[in-house]
Chains A and B, each alone.
Chain A
Amino acid sequence: MNKRLLVPRFLQELDDKLLRNKPGTWAARTHLVIYFAFLFALLTAAFCYFVFFDAKQDSNIVSWNVFVGLIAFIGFVFWLIFLLRFNVFKRYGNRFAIDSLKDFSLYFIAIGAMTGVCFVPSAVETYRANQQFGNEEIVNDINELNVSACKLEYGLLPFTWEPDTFRVVPKLPNSPVNEETTVVVETDTVLSEEPGDVTYKYELIDTADLRIKIMGADSLLKINDTMYVFYDCPDYTFVSSYAADEYTTAKLLSSVDIYYNTIKNYVQPDRTALLKRMEEFRVKYAVSSPYEYGDFYDNNEKARYDNKIRKKYDLSRISNGIDNVVMKKYDWVKNWDDYLRVFYYITLVFTLLVFIFRHSTVKTFFLSVLTGVLLSIITALIMAVSYSRGSSVLSFMIFYYAVFIVLALSIFGVRVRKAVQGIGLNLFVFMTAFIPWIFVALNKDMKEPRSYVEGLTFKPINWSLYFLLAEIAGTVILLILVHTLFKKLYRRWYAAPEE
């Protein structure tokens, strides 16, 4: 039994068994890649766990991802060296019907394991943030911070709700209209206005804009069927974090909530207790950020009270910390689809390269890479010279793909191995998974200009769904062709005699 460093006995036994029974699986070394990727992931996770001890600090996850990615790439190169050693296909060994698909899957799993490790720091960062701060805790703390600040600095707060008047018209005129109207302000509508006639300038809006404005309005006064006055509550949220309450039962208090709960019926607070609490929050969350530009000093009223309160209670630094925590906590929940795509495409591209490399000669493989690069350069040059649109690139790609298909299929007709056919076949294989996506992109590119022309009568298309379907279709087509066509083409081309 050949002893390998750090390989446990059971894996060594599995390795020996595969060598004697499943040479194709053994040669792919997927079992060892998974094991070492797992070890590396554990090590990375343990290291990151201790490094990411303070979730409120700024994230340097990109550096970590690059660092781990580089190590994973070294692992990939090391694996490639092992792959060069044994190849059932290139030794003309016994091949079974499922072997090509199996090989492709094994490469995908092995590369997936290596790619997956790159996401470990990010996952640990999220885990640590969730471990240190509860979802409800963050929301409650933000609310408490804002309410306490308002209670402590009641004297500084503005109470006037800014009005904005609009008249709804069926169709907007081409030039803006600024007219005046008189509206009657009723008691209890706002604090700042005395009941009576008030003159406001109004703007014209259409019904669509009205709907949008109603959804975001703090307060609304309907004067008649076409005339509306919107009131904006002053900002009492000194600390806020985008979507911090998206996944919690407790919700962030808006300025309106604070106004009605705290300010409208103001009660003198226990200042000592509140100040102590504010200091606790400062210790808990405050953190300096390298991207911080300091507090703004502006002459307007809002800036004046806002800056004073922020500065007094170190709320900018507290906001930094809370933002960092929230960003880390919900990173995976919010971005899982992006992460999945990054993982999938990195894994797929490397898998395709390895699959092609394992089925063609070294010379043809590198000529294929060179051809791909040259075609990209030539296409870019044509595009630059002819001021073409995006659809032209996509059309070029479809044209190239058609040429590659013709070259690859010509392998069935000749009895000699030619590099040009091998290059065609390699690029045919490489592009297949992306072709449905390219077709959808081309379709979108051709249809989108129409939407501007047709304006609101154009029915919007859910392109993201079509792109998702194209991605799935590309993968399925690729796997079907690997199993049916590509294996036959490679077998015929690689084994053919040379000129």
Chain B
Amino acid sequence: MKDNVISLPGAVRQTDGDVKAWEKVKKARKENRPQTRDYIGKLFRGVFEVKGDRVYGDDESIVTAIAWFENWPVTIIGQQKGHTLEERMRCNFGMPNPEGYRKSMRALKQAEKFSRPVICFVDTPGAYPGVDAENRGQGLVIAEHLKTMATLRTPTISIIIGEGGSGGALALSLSDWLIMLDNSYFSVISPEGCASILFKDSSLAQQAAVNLKLTAEDLMRFKIVDSIIKEPENFDRYNMDECVSELRKEIRSALRRLTRVSPDRLVSQRHERYLEMRGL
């Protein structure tokens, strides 16, 4: 990776803030960063994992479960990349196939039926770009997942804990309350992808990361994200208690607010919230 870029026409000069964007992307991808299963272990009790899409199979890159969050029975949906090589392969490196999204939709429908709030953990480089995935309707399931979340008559909270890569991440993010961890990112395309398409050079990813404005702070400024959770120094799966307790407080207060709202109001508020994000 080039350290001192940039001779791009019209590109902005690099500042400390710019270096930070790329640092954050690297941290978001770090192997030892806590993942969905780590958070499930710390935040919830009485976890019952729900498996399979009832159509084709079970996709381990999306974990779905029912559990207790304090005194609330909740539905958990989260993308899992895996820590060890073996787990990473089972989880397809966190890139869901259509059956993952179908399983997730099944969990969402159940949550609606039993009026359980839903808590989503977003952490994926993107939905899996494979031949079979396409033939089984990757685009279609993401579209349907978005529609299911848009119309769900129960509170939804989404937390971007690592990578928020494109449509595959967006599918789990359409919610009533969107939280981001300080060193996570949320973007339309990976910095590498953007650099190789627009700048014809994937080594300019660092610059693309700046241009894409994909950090939690950027998204807060755009009023897309509702709250940011700070991360301590040396944040990893063995050192996550501080962050978990912040997250617990944030989820608790969001649930207190959202569970008081009637389902009709909740859905129409969610609609208004997104329709107002014109990006202008």
Question: Are A and B subunits of one complex?
Answer: no
